[in-house]
Structure 1
């Protein structure tokens, strides 16, 4: 009788463990989906507290001369949370560009462009509001043919609304050239206004669709640039780390016909990382 009881107990325990294993796996999968959803919402917020490394691979086509170009843009985002709930945000952008001729052949026309960055202060706001203000700057660090040869700086401001379903942002800045080092006597100081108008729809399960065009106006050339923009992205958890993968496209309905492309197609890859410098503030 005892042997039968022990065998029965063992069989029940084994059956229970087999039932529990899928349940635990399902729970882990649910936890990852919830984390991916949370990370997707954070990464769509320009004022996010998550540090990340953004790699943008962009192809530009439809130039007036029939050529094309591509750019690899490295854009880390480093937030510095303060004790009072405010944040300092630092976002540099380092571009490397390659130009192609009409036949699509790659030549020696490639190099690093000017590094730009924005440094902003984001005060703690009421739930659902986004706000930041600071400076936007461009440094003459690019190689010959890929630099404006001048330091430029100006103000920036960010306003936005955030809900469970979507995010809206309004992000204007202006750049003035203040140190023109160009050898070209006809080179003018930078005088350009840009406005990013963004909408992000949070679809759940880490998916987002968005439109976030950056409109600009060059006051020296009296020339506007207006793209139509569409983006789709998916945030997943790989090795306990959120990764965001996205596709992006621009079609320029207004531009400088002499120097600007008709369209841009981009692939964006963004892993979330730990900001080792966060303790500085």
Structure 2
């Protein structure tokens, strides 16, 4: 154990928590802060305040392997006070655990979680009644009518982010490209919406705009079935920030695949980039 200076070892708990809150979750879990002294180690293990916001994403500059066990331990340390969880490669089983350990969750951000299903997600969201922010990026088995269920389960939802690895559109007049949009239109208090690479059409977006009057941020980049005509632009008049289908993707955080249009009725979840 490294012997710290008296100033660091004897910090009042409020001051100590202020220092430790600047560290990322993974650093608190396996980094060097817990080896500074007993008081720091005790605070990291026993102070739920440090675990209200948990970020278990896999960062390129970390050499740590983040697994479900580590994520569960972080949530447990919150002692039921966790309000925000951000992670990758989550599962239905983990979401069930999260409902039991973090009933007051307000923000849930899931990245590349191919093992989460429509059924598992809805089962969890029905137990997060105060959820205000939801991200589903590159979650290949979450699609379609599930968004209507999300609107019912989360009546306070203000921010929704959905990202697909590419724009993938089925060119079939009998295929409903706006199924997800119709579900999102039930989220009446939504203020921020990102649909990156969605196949929704003008009709779907118009339905969202008609039913979500509080929207101030809209990102529909790579939604190439949308054509901003006069009618649609008029409906967007109250939106402060808009990112249009052909807008710059310089600030987009994920890899982007080339757009695909097909006449085959091949479900989105089976498309190669999602494997």
Q: Give TM class, smaller chain.
A: under 0.3
Q: Normalising by structure 2, report the TM-score.
A: 0.21
Higher CA-based Rg? 1
More helix by share: 2
Structure with larger RCO (C-alpha < 8 A, sep 6+): 1
Q: Normalising by structure 1, report the TM-score.
A: 0.21
